[in-house]
Amino acid sequence: MLAGSSGEAACLLGKTWGYDDRGVWVADGCVGEFVVGPTATQEAQPKKKARYIPNAGFLIVDSDKGDMYVRLFSYARYLNQKGLDATYTDAFGTVKTVQIREDVQLNKFFLPFSGWFLTPKLRYYLYVWSSNPSQGDPAQVVGAGNLSYVFNRYVTFGAGITSLPAVRSTEGQFPYWLGVDDRLIADEFFRGSYTTGVWVKGEFATKFKYMAMLANNLSTLGVSASQLDNTFDTMSYMVQWLPTTGEFGLWGTFGDFDYHETLATRLAVHYTQSTEDKQSQPGANGIENSQIRLTDGSVIFTPDLFGTGITVNRVKYRMSSVDGGLKYKGLSFEAEYYWRWLSDFTGSNTASIADIHDHGYQLQASAMVVPKLLQAYAGNSGIYGRYGDASEVRAGANWYPARERGFRVNAEWIHLNHCPVGYTAVPYPVGGNGDVFHTNVELNF
């Protein structure tokens, strides 16, 4: 039994700690004291009705048959895009209008329920999610989740909806990013998204983690089962190495809020491939949209995009990335490089379209100016391809009034150069060129 835990990461039976014939195992930053043997049952304390577990939520059910944690993530955002140009010209010479916004939104509401039933090895993660700026879109309100079975620290099998392990930010750190619910534009451009499938993950050796997923498509949001292309060939893989400390902070977060006294390091590689057609793509303003766009922001399935009578109906997407990071005493530096290949175009008159190769990068650095209270950060990313180049620089700050992750005030400035990606839930639009400012008040428990 768990006698007590210390450290930022929650110790959750069957998820971040467990036991087998060889003894007790821990993962993902769980630090605790454990009682083993016959005395563990004899000394067990009466279960409490409800209590708060930092970074895990409120434990509202705790019984011999299972438990249930409930969390809440939400934030209010003021967004000002008035520093952007009113129009942009794509790679084909078409002038397009940028919808410039200045508004206040309760941007997102995310309510997950998680725990185990019958055995700590059988786990569930179910949630309700709403993106209020996307009112009226097909996936504005989502009920989703997944089920998993933890065999041991080496193998967990899961099925349902989760994020493809295509890049660093889709490994499960959400919402523990430097900014509030917004990735750098290169990350947003190249990554896979949330989809339905089956996966296996765990550790294959000390300090090495992996995940492999077989899924329906790159993004399930706004896509019904009748729209799928029936190829079931979306595959995504991740291998992660944590060479020094064997961990990288709570859930592998960005930044060093944890304030590592020993240098923490990570290296990881990712690979994703999928056959995508226009029926399996979310709508233009789909929430967490992972549409395949050219580097000028054009949706690849747009009719007549490559010329009169030329329309792509299906394309092969392949993407790989490599990332690394360092954390030490409140300082962090993290980098990732991306490569994307688009090929095997099918549709009307597509024989003239040559394979498309794009690449890009992102850099992020942060410092806890005042430990547990004030964090400053900066970021830079770039996207390069045949149909244009894009880049950004950004800087921001996080203030934690309660000296805990659960409540923060954030302010961020972004300078965009021909942004090729965007939608209503993020602070940048497609075609954005100029300055954006936003500030957020976030609640996350």
Among candidate residues 287, 345, 337, the one with its CA nearest the CA of residue 317: 345
pLDDT value of residue 44:
47
What's the whole-number mean pLDDT along residues 99-123? Answer: 94
Point out which residues pair with 84 in neighbouring strands: 434
pLDDT number for residue 164: 95
**Has residue 16 been placed in a domain?**
no
18 belongs to a structural domain: no
Domain count, the chain: 1
Q: Is residue 17 part of a domain?
A: no
Any domain includes 65: yes
pLDDT at 34 over 90: no
Confidence category of residue 225, pLDDT binned at 50, 70, 90: confident
Domain that holds residue 288: 47-444
The pLDDT, as a whole number, for residue 364 is 98
Q: Give me the pLDDT at residue 210, please.
A: 97
Q: What is the dihedral of CA 186, 396, 178, 373, to 10 degrees?
A: 170
Give the pLDDT confidence of 77-93 residue by residue, as tens digits: 999 999 999 999 999 99
Mean pLDDT of the chain: 88
Query: Count of residues for the chain?
Result: 445
Q: Is 9 within a domain?
A: no
Predicted pLDDT of residue 197: 96
Q: Which of 154, 145, 166 is nearest to 201 (CA)?
A: 154
pLDDT, position 409: 98
Per the CB < 8 A criterion, the answer to whether 339 and 166 are in contact is no
Mean pLDDT of 120-145: 83
Place of tokens 């900066």: 378
pLDDT (mean) for 32-54:
62
- Give me the CATH number covering residue 131: 2.40.160.10
Going by C-alpha positions, the residue among 283, 294, 315 that lies closest to residue 423 is 283
Is the predicted pLDDT of residue 42 greater than 50, yes or no? Answer: no
260 near 328, Cβ under 8 Å? yes
CA atoms of 368 and 328, how far apart (whole Å) = 10
Is pLDDT above 80 for 4?
Answer: no
Looking at residue 29, its pLDDT comes to 64
Mean pLDDT of 263-283: 85
Per-residue pLDDT reduced to its tens digit, 350-388? 999 999 999 999 999 999 999 999 999 999 999 999 999
Give a yes or no: residue 11 inside a domain: no
